[in-house]
Amino acid sequence: MALNEGSLAQESVYSLTEVAYHFQVTTDLLRSWTQRFAQVLSPVAQSEPPKFSNTDVAALSMVQRLLSQGLPDEQVNAHLTPRRLVQEEPSALALAHEQNRQLAEVKAGGLPQVLGDLLGTIASSQQSVLNSQSTLREMVGVVVQDNFTLKEENRRLRERMLELERVLAEYQRREETRKERLESRLRGLENTVAALQQQMAQLIQRQSQQPKRGWW
């Protein structure tokens, strides 16, 4: 389903960094994928800087899944159908119009009605397939966009949690410092009280050792 630049402009476009973050891989690995599996990507994915549509992201998601299963590049390429949807849609529409024209000619020529009905059924089926392809493409775009949104929200949540952890660590550090200061002051007070008690004991002892004076 190779996308031209006109069709790509109608979809969401993502940078190399955004797509690498989406798949949790390095940009170098993502560039390697675009080279090894170029047949399933749009031409602009090979440009510099590369750009990726929703359809490109969906194809790369399949590439990642197949590679994670241990398949070599040849089997991955074999599993992925070359992307001809946008190129084939015009020809498919032309075929549908041609079938409609043939249907009109058949009816005008007086051939059996059943043949005309058969061609009409084929044309209707072809149109249904095109509609299904368009719907599927829109669904893929929505899913990819939702994935990017969720990953962005998760990133912000992780940053908020890290910030809270930093604040908590700072609070705990301050509490430890305050506790140490209070313990130090308490030890100082205990030492002061002990010194005062010792001085009082010495004074009492001195007074008891002094001789008592009598009247004679």
Q: How confident is the model at residue 2 (pLDDT cuts 50, 70, 90)?
A: very low
Distance between alpha carbon 183 and the CA centroid of its chain, in Å? 49
5-79 — its CATH code? Answer: 1.10.1660.10
Q: How many CA atoms lie within 13 A of 55 on its CB side?
A: 30
pLDDT in tens, 119-177: 677 877 778 777 777 777 777 777 788 788 888 888 898 999 999 999 989 988 999 89
Specify the pLDDT at position 134.
Answer: 72
Specify the pLDDT at position 118.
Answer: 66
Distance, in Å, from the CA atom of 112 to the CA atom of 44, rounded to the nearest integer, reads 50
Backbone angles phi, psi at 147, to 5 degrees: -65, -40
Q: What is the mean pLDDT of residues 100-125?
A: 60
pLDDT in tens, 178-193: 999 989 889 998 999 9
Question: Could you tell me the residue ranges of all domains in the chain?
Answer: 5-79, 87-169
* H or E element that contains 53: strand 51-53
Specify the pLDDT at position 8.
Answer: 40
